[in-house]
Amino acid sequence: MESTVKDIIIEKAKSSKIEQVDFNNLPFGSVFTDHMMVCDYKDGAWQTPKIIPYQPLTLEPSARVFHYGQAVFEGMKAYKDDDGKVWLFRPDENFHRINKSSARMAMPEFPEDYFFDGLNTLLKMENDWIKPGLGNSLYIRPFAIATQAGIIASPSQEFKFLIICSPAQAYYGGEVRVKIAEKFSRAADGGFGFAKAAGNYAGQFYPTNLAKEEGFQQIVWTDAKSHEFIEEAGTMNIFVRMGDKLLTCPTGDRILDGVTRKSVIALAEEQGIEVDIRPIRVSELLEGHKNGELKEMFGSGTAAVINPILGFGYKGERYELPVMTDSYATRIKQQLINIQYNIAEDKFGWRYEVK
């Protein structure tokens, strides 16, 4: 049975899968909720959004996404506090960034009211999938793909925007040691490294696999021109603590403007930590390790929030970082989580209540 709420067509699932899910054992990103949002773009306009049962898509084999990679996505989370209220964390940033990514990939931007009305409606329908308690969340994946049939190498004129959801537990990356890239690059000047485009991630898999064969878990990417400057840690923004100062790279053509990155910078500054946003040379890490100034390295992103880096490899040498009892990573992560779960005051106005 279909009904319309805020111009959204809703088709409810006949039954829920939730009773079949073991919420104490959730492999990240492999279990999905009962519904998804879908909206098609054709004839130069976005059509009426729909919320329908989670199901496979039917696409032509010649759909442009398969051949020319027009695809963008976002990563967000919904959190439930002890009073049963559901919160998003800075969703306006995700909305603006997916449209920025879309524009770079010659894809139409998605309307703000469609995005937030669809997201709110979907999350209210999937409320039971959002479990309270620290570490529990609902991972939200908005994405858009080119669907027009035809293998001519030109931008698609038809697209599909979707939002799917996956319940998640606290993400533990385990012990992470990284290899600093000497040959491979994630992105180049004038490219689309700043966009959350599917191709950015596909290109990372091969060199990351090579690094894993050497015993590393991730790669710290370096600039494509000289490989002298670090840029990102795997799929995360990177932070380096030198003495009492926190360093991170400036965003631009090559580096993703991470929502968690922005939040870490703001929280660090609130704690009185000096933050220096500037290019970071690999040689600085080596010198800092040698003279004891290099205290911490960590990555920031939606899935893990903050993931400490225990050591790194470069040009055949391995370097271990000191074990910190009161690390910046731990302090900032705890403060960030407390805001996300409505445990602490939100001085920044980052929380968004789902109503």
**CATH number of domain containing 141:** 3.30.470.10
Domain presence at residue 355: no
Res 1 pLDDT > 70: no
Q: What is the pLDDT of residue 176?
A: 93
Of the candidates 122, 148, 168, which is a domain's last residue?
168
The distance of Cα 102 from the centroid of its chain, to the nearest Å, equals: 16
Query: Mapping DSSP to helix (H, G, I), strand (E, B) and coil, where does residue 226 land?
Result: coil
Note whether 112 and 199 are same-domain residues.
Answer: no
Note whether 154 and 191 are same-domain residues.
Answer: no
Q: Residue range 194-220: average pLDDT? A: 95
Q: What confidence tier does 4 reach under pLDDT thresholds 50, 70, 90? A: very low
Note whether 8 and 130 are same-domain residues.
Answer: yes
Domain presence at residue 352: no
Note whether 108 and 198 are same-domain residues.
Answer: no
Note whether 30 and 162 are same-domain residues.
Answer: yes
- Contacts from 189-193 at CB under 8 Å and sequence distance 24+? 189/224, 189/225, 189/253, 189/254, 190/253, 191/253, 191/254, 192/101, 192/104, 192/105, 192/253, 193/253, 193/254, 193/255, 193/256
Res 295 pLDDT > 50: yes
- Determine what percent of the chain is predicted with pLDDT higher than 70: 98
Note whether 268 and 153 are same-domain residues.
Answer: no
Q: What confidence tier does 131 reach under pLDDT thresholds 50, 70, 90? A: very high
Domain presence at residue 121: yes
Cβ distance 151 to 59 under 8 Å? no
Note whether 141 and 181 are same-domain residues.
Answer: no
CA-to-CA distance for 42 and 311, rounded, in angstroms?
A: 49
Note whether 21 and 153 are same-domain residues.
Answer: yes
Q: Residue range 145-155: average pLDDT? A: 97
Note whether 149 and 40 are same-domain residues.
Answer: yes
Burial class (CB in 10 A: 0-12, 13-18, 19+), 91: buried
Res 5 pLDDT > 70: no
Q: Which residue has the tokens 């959801």?
A: 165
pLDDT digits (tens, 9 = 90+) for 6-49: 589 999 999 999 999 999 999 999 999 999 999 999 999 999 99
Domain presence at residue 88: yes
Note whether 128 and 196 are same-domain residues.
Answer: no
Query: Mapping DSSP to helix (H, G, I), strand (E, B) and coil, where does residue 311 land?
Result: strand
Q: What is the pLDDT of residue 172?
A: 66
Cβ distance 41 to 72 under 8 Å? no
Q: Residue range 145-151: average pLDDT? A: 98
Domain holding 152, by residue range, is 2-168
Note whether 232 and 292 are same-domain residues.
Answer: yes
Note whether 14 and 103 are same-domain residues.
Answer: yes
Eight-state DSSP code of residue 197? B
Res 251 pLDDT > 90: yes
Q: What is the pLDDT of residue 7?
A: 85
Q: What confidence tier does 167 reach under pLDDT thresholds 50, 70, 90? A: very high
Taking the CA atoms of 97, 98, 102 and 104 in sequence, report the sign of the dihedral they define: positive
Domain presence at residue 349: no
How confident is the prediction for the chain on average, in pLDDT? 95
259 φ, ψ to 5°? -65, -45
Cβ distance 220 to 274 under 8 Å? no
Total count of domains within the chain: 2
pLDDT digits (tens, 9 = 90+) for 65-85: 999 999 999 999 999 999 999
Alpha helix stretches (DSSP H) within 84-222? 91-104, 112-125, 198-213
Q: What is the pLDDT of residue 3?
A: 42
Q: What is the pLDDT of residue 2?
A: 42
